[in-house]
Amino acid sequence: MILDAAHATASRLFTPAFRGVLMKSLGLTLAGLIGLWFAARALFDWLALPWIDALIPDLPSWASWFGVIGMAIAGFGLALILALLIAPVTALIAGLFLDDAAELIEREDYPSDPPGRPLDFGPSLVSSLKFLGVVILGNIAALILLLIPGVNIAAFFIVNGYLIGREFFEFAAMRHRRPAKARAFRRAHALSVFLAGLVVAAFMAVPVLNLATPLFAAAMMVHLHKMLSGRTPDDARQSAALRKAA
């Protein structure tokens, strides 16, 4: 079932209809990351302004090496900070398009089923901010655990698999169920949701491709929710074809 959901999602990811949502999400994400890069560089340049030399005008020549080393360390830190921001920025931007991705999957693969209800702006915003916080905390925890040999890789997949699976499955379920029932349905299928989250975490571990993680996760969890509810894409398409023939 998990692999079926992943395969059904991958087959849709680069189709023309889905590509439009993907390009909008990626475009805004890249624009956000570029903006953060220039903002961080501006802050760095401000911190390294010549007023430092004015405060200490008579530095010996050999002291300039410390400046070079400091700039190299700062540059590495800047790149590291940007790398850590990729996941939360992607999650925040793509959160604007999750309903679009879910609606597309439901319309194309489950045409005979009642369409899901897009979340209202308030709950949608809260959900996006909640997921943003979850991603930040999860990746901080994973980063700390990465320093522990033997558990680092496992920590990345377990932490992100659990958090991503939980949040995105509840998002897919809440399109068709009240929040309390959506959470109860997720808990009833906790193992399947966690395994699906591990698949998404593996997708997230692939550079460049990971920018599409939120949309891939949303689409995959729509499929998983349908399958756990007793529906498959083929069943839904067959029902729709029979309805049209009648």
DSSP state of 29: H
The answer to whether 167 and 130 are in contact (CB under 8 A) is yes
pLDDT at 79: 62
The answer to whether 201 and 80 are in contact (CB under 8 A) is no
> Along the 246 residues of the chain, how does pLDDT read in single tens digits?
888 889 888 888 888 888 888 888 888 878 877 887 787 777 766 665 554 555 555 555 544 555 555 556 656 666 666 666 666 676 667 667 888 888 989 888 888 888 888 877 666 667 667 666 766 776 676 667 666 766 767 777 887 788 888 888 988 898 899 888 999 999 999 999 999 999 988 888 787 787 788 888 889 999 999 999 887 777 666 665 655 555
The runs of H, that is alpha helices, within the chain are 2-13, 16-47, 51-55, 64-94, 98-109, 121-145, 152-174, 179-188, 190-204, 213-228, 233-245
Cα–Cα distances in angstroms (integers) from residue 53 to residues 37, 138, 191, in the given order: 26, 41, 60
Percent of the chain with pLDDT over 90: 12
pLDDT at 193: 94
Classified as helix, coil or strand, 214 is helix
CA 208 distance to own-chain centroid: 12
pLDDT at 199: 93
pLDDT at 131: 66
DSSP state of 246: -
Q: What's the pLDDT tens digit per position in 9-66?
A: 888 888 888 888 888 888 887 887 788 778 777 776 666 555 455 555 555 554 455 5
d(CA 162, CA 148): 20
The answer to whether 8 and 223 are in contact (CB under 8 A) is yes
d(CA 146, CA 150): 9
The answer to whether 97 and 24 are in contact (CB under 8 A) is yes
pLDDT at 135: 66
For 21, what's the count of Cα atoms within 13 Å in the CB-facing half-sphere? 25
pLDDT at 191: 93
Say what the pTM is: 0.73
Cα–Cα distances in angstroms (integers) from residue 209 to residues 8, 60, 176, in the given order: 17, 49, 29
